[in-house]
Amino acid sequence: MLQVGTVLKPGDEIVVESGAGSREYHLTTVKRVTPTGQIVVAYYDMRFDTQGREVGSSGLNRRYLTLPTPEIRMQIIRRKIAYLDWKKIDDEKMRQVAGILGLWNSEPGVADD
């Protein structure tokens, strides 16, 4: 949830966090802040109160706003990679990914494991 006194404005990056079961994070932006202080985000036009709690929801299914941290950003990246449709990636990009992971040796005449 947001710290008391957190001021958000349109265009600010924010994270929508689901609270039930395995945590899911969605990086989005603030669309607007209403005169009553509700925060409307680009992710499905969801609304949150001034403390970052989803409006109209309660209990386990409630979502919360939180500020993006390096740890949350890394979790978002890991989740995107886990669900990536690898068949849609062209061969050259796949070689680059494999090289970064140490799975591809691009030197001619050197056997790969």
pLDDT digits (tens, 9 = 90+) for 28-79: 999 999 999 999 999 999 999 999 999 998 877 889 999 999 999 999 999 9
Pairing label, strands 47-48, 63-66 = unpaired
The Cα 102–Cα 47 span in angstroms is 44
The H-or-E segment that residue 66 falls in is strand 63-66
H or E element, residue 76: helix 70-82
How far is the C-alpha of 113 from the C-alpha of 111, rounded, in Å?
7
Q: How many angstroms separate the CA atoms of 67 and 73, rounded? A: 10
pLDDT at 108: 54
Does the pTM of the predicted model rise above 0.75?
Answer: yes
